[in-house]
Amino acid sequence: MVNNTVSVMALKVYNTMSGTKETFTPLQEGQVKMYACGVTVYDHCHIGHARSGIVFDTVYRYLMSKDYDVTYVKNFTDIDDKIIRRSQQEKIPWQEVGRKYIESFYEDMDALNITRATYEPKATDHIDDMIGVVNTLLEKGHAYIVEGDVYFSVESYKGYGQLSKRTLEEMMAGARIDVDEKKKNPLDFVLWKASKEGEPSWETPFGSGRPGWHIECSAMSTRYLGNPFDIHGGGKDLVFPHHENERAQTEAATGKIFVNYWIHNGFVNIDREKMSKSIGNTLAIKTFLKEYHPEVLRLFFLTTHYRSPVDYSEKSIEDADSVLHRLYYTRDRALETQKGKVISPARHADTDELERKFYEAMDDDFNTALALSYVYELSKNLNKMIDDKDASALGLIAYANDTLNNLSGTLGLLKDNLASLEGRERIHHLNRIGLDISFVENAIAERVEARKNKNYQRSDEIRNMLLEKGIALLDTPKGTEWRIKHSTT
RNA sequence: GGCGGCAUCGCCAAGUGGUAAGGCAACGGUCUGCAAAACCGUUAUUCUCCGGUUCAAAUCCGGAUGCCGCCUCCA
């Protein structure tokens, strides 16, 4: 009801292929087909995966809010070198590795309230599709077999390098690729690997083996979305070689355009350093969620444009945490004004204007940072109206609050409630410092008693004692409440 | 070595030709026994530096400096 006019506005997206923002025009009116590269399931997900997940979840949610019928595919790579290595390390079957980390993936992504895709296929369920693509490439002369490995010939496909914007010559000049004598061109990549002893393998017309990495996304995206389809996304690092290769394979095999819009998200750094396993500074989603509400991470990521790198730091997370609390608090205040009354929302021009700007920002290549600033402004307006205590404004407040919920919801925020937000933080914090809730409750009770007797010295002692443990007391009209005070930087 | 990106208040961050959004922090106020929380208000004549184009530039062009990414598995 609120946004029936917004879908008319044109969405612009930055297309990695052209290097510019383009007006988004789906192949079929009213429908969008998108594919985002999922994860290789050999370990728990870290906050970099969370960023990708949240970015494409935002795209997905936004497209749906514009009334597109979206078919969204996100894959699992459940057969690959790392998984095989992991299965040897953990001494469990490789299938078990996949199952284990897919489960872990869902735990994390569900906790982060990332909407599940329409289809979430596993590579191993689509081996036949991959064999089909490889076969076609062999038949069309785009691939060749050496010692059981099937390679894609990059020289046979004229568009190679267009996505990552470099030419074959430039890449050769880079010369960091080990020259493999078996390959016709050092840049040729493997479509199908002859499997070694003890490794999983599948029988194919071109010998037994297992798929290379890139072929699975080509096969699965084509299977579920056809060719071409509208949007293909993933982390920036996937542009080369993964997406370049996917594109080459698919276009060579089908003779059709593979994808119309390529969208890539920037990376997460930690304290200005690249997050990587070798540096040992990866932060697992599970670790993060022990301390903060999932929406804190979402809000934090949405504060920066999806294409820019984002630097994770305790300070930035604390900032996001404060803002999130405030938004929830505002909504609670607004709800409070409606308690026990029947109020019909009254349309409000100021609110409508902010909503319009919100959608305008989102339409401009998903500018969530700008869009959020309008949410904050809306929250500020709401507080002003509430402070005015003008009974005739109740309808306007209700309307603004509905809008706040709508817009936040479009970004995947304010899906929880204040009590839950604070409750889970309290539990986590108490666990971390090893205190029982009764300790806090007793201390508060003692302080209430002291205050009643105007023994403010004792009262302040107790307050300070708790504060040192990261527990801040709030004397409200309803009584003494407490919340977690994170580091005071 | 090749290719690409970025540089905006103490911190985070939007803004791609029309005269600097927003958040955090800080400060002032309301509230409070005092606080905290919450709310309100204030806070960049200026966008790394140098030169150029233009009536007009953070925004375009050239150069310098610094930081980062990709070129190898990676979201």
Q: Give residue-wise pLDDT tens across range A288-342.
A: 998 899 999 999 999 999 999 999 999 999 999 999 999 999 999 999 998 888 8
Give the residue, A307 or A272, on which the prediction is more confident: A307
pLDDT class of A179 with cuts at 50, 70, 90 = low
pLDDT computed for residue A180 by the predictor = 63
Q: CA–C1' span, A313 to B27, in Å?
A: 26
Of the pLDDT bands very low, low, confident and very high (cuts 50, 70, 90), residue A164 is very high
Which residue type does A485 have?
K
Q: Which nucleotide, over all strands, has the C1' atom closest to the CA of A329?
A: B38
Taking residues A423-431, report their average pLDDT: 87
Measured CA angle at A67 (ends A62, A72), to 5 deg: 60
User: CA angle, corner A454, sides to A449 and A456, nearest 5?
Assistant: 90
Nearest nt by C1' to A20 Cα: B16
Residue closest to A378 by CA, chosen among A405, A359, A411:
A405
Q: Separation of CA A175 and C1' B1 in angstroms?
A: 9
Which residue has its C-alpha nearest to nucleotide B2's C1'?
A174
Across A170-177, average pLDDT: 67
pLDDT for residue A391 is more than 70: yes
Taking residues A379-407, what's their average pLDDT? 93
Q: What is the pLDDT of residue A276?
A: 80
Cα–Cα–Cα angle for A162, A168, A170, nearest 5°?
100
Q: How far apart are CA A237 and CA A241, in angstroms?
A: 8
- pLDDT tens-digit profile of A180-192? 667 888 899 999 9
* pLDDT for residue A201: 94
The amino acid occupying position A45 is C
Confidence label for A461 from pLDDT (cuts 50, 70 and 90): very high
User: pTM for the whole thing?
Assistant: 0.94
A17, A164 Cβ separation under 8 angstroms:
no
CA A60 to C1' B48, in angstroms, rounded, equals 38
Nucleotide nearest to A485 (CA to C1'): B36
Measured CA A382 to C1' B24 distance, in angstroms = 21
What pairs with residue A31 in β-bridges? Answer: A28, A69
Please state the φ and ψ torsions of residue A156, each to the nearest 5 degrees: -85, -5
At A5, is the pLDDT very low, low, confident or very high (cuts 50, 70, 90)?
very low
Please give the protein residue whose CA is closest to the C1' of the nucleotide B73.
A82
d(CA A287, CA A428): 11
The rounded percent of chain A whose pLDDT value lies above 70 is 96
Q: What is the average pLDDT value for chain A, to the nearest integer?
A: 92
Which of A227 and A277 is assigned the larger pLDDT? A227
Q: A184 vs A180, A187, A248, A306, A353, CA distance in Å?
A: 9, 9, 16, 38, 60
Q: How far apart (Å, rounded) are the C-alpha atoms in residues A421 and A319? A: 15
pLDDT tens digit sequence for A228-251: 999 999 999 999 999 999 999 999
Q: In whole angstroms, what is the distance from residue A244 CA to residue A168 CA?
A: 12
The CA-based dihedral angle spanning residues A36, A40, A44, A46, taken in that order and rounded to the nearest 10 degrees: -50
Beta strand pairing status for A310-312 and A268-270?
A: parallel
Q: In angstroms, how far is B42 C1' from A238 CA?
A: 46
Please tell me the least confidently modeled range out of A166-175, A219-228, A399-408: A166-175
For chain A, the first-to-last Cα distance in angstroms comes to 43
Q: Which pLDDT belongs to residue A174?
A: 60
Distance (Å, whole) CA A105 – CA A120: 12
pLDDT tens-digit readout, A95-131: 999 999 999 999 999 999 999 999 999 999 999 999 9
The integer distance in angstroms from the CA atom of A20 to the C1' atom of B53 is 24
Residues A73 and A121 sit within 8 Å (Cβ to Cβ): yes
Q: How far is the CA of A319 from the C1' of B2 (A)?
A: 40
- Bases in strand B with any atom closer than 7 Å to a protein CB: 1-6, 11-16, 21-25, 32-41, 68-75
Residue A58's pLDDT is 97
Q: Which nucleotide minimizes the distance between its C1' and the CA of A483? A: B37
For A387 and B37, how far is CA from C1' in angstroms?
16
Residue-wise burial string across A347-378, b where 16 or more C-beta atoms lie within 10 A, e elsewhere = ebeebeebbebbbebbbbbbbbeebbbbbebb
Q: What is the pLDDT of residue A484?
A: 87
Q: Which residue is nearest to nucleotide B6 (CA to C1')?
A: A308
* DSSP H helices in A255-367: 285-291, 294-302, 314-338, 349-363
- CA A348 to C1' B23 (Å) is 25
Q: How far apart are CA A251 and CA A257, in angstroms?
A: 6
Backbone angles phi, psi at A283, to 5 degrees: -120, 115
Cβ atoms within 10 Å of A165's Cβ, excluding its own: 13
A474 CA: nearest nucleotide by C1': B36
- A63 contact partners, CB below 8 Å, separation of at least 6: A32, A34, A70
Closest nucleotide relative to residue A269's CA, C1' based: B68
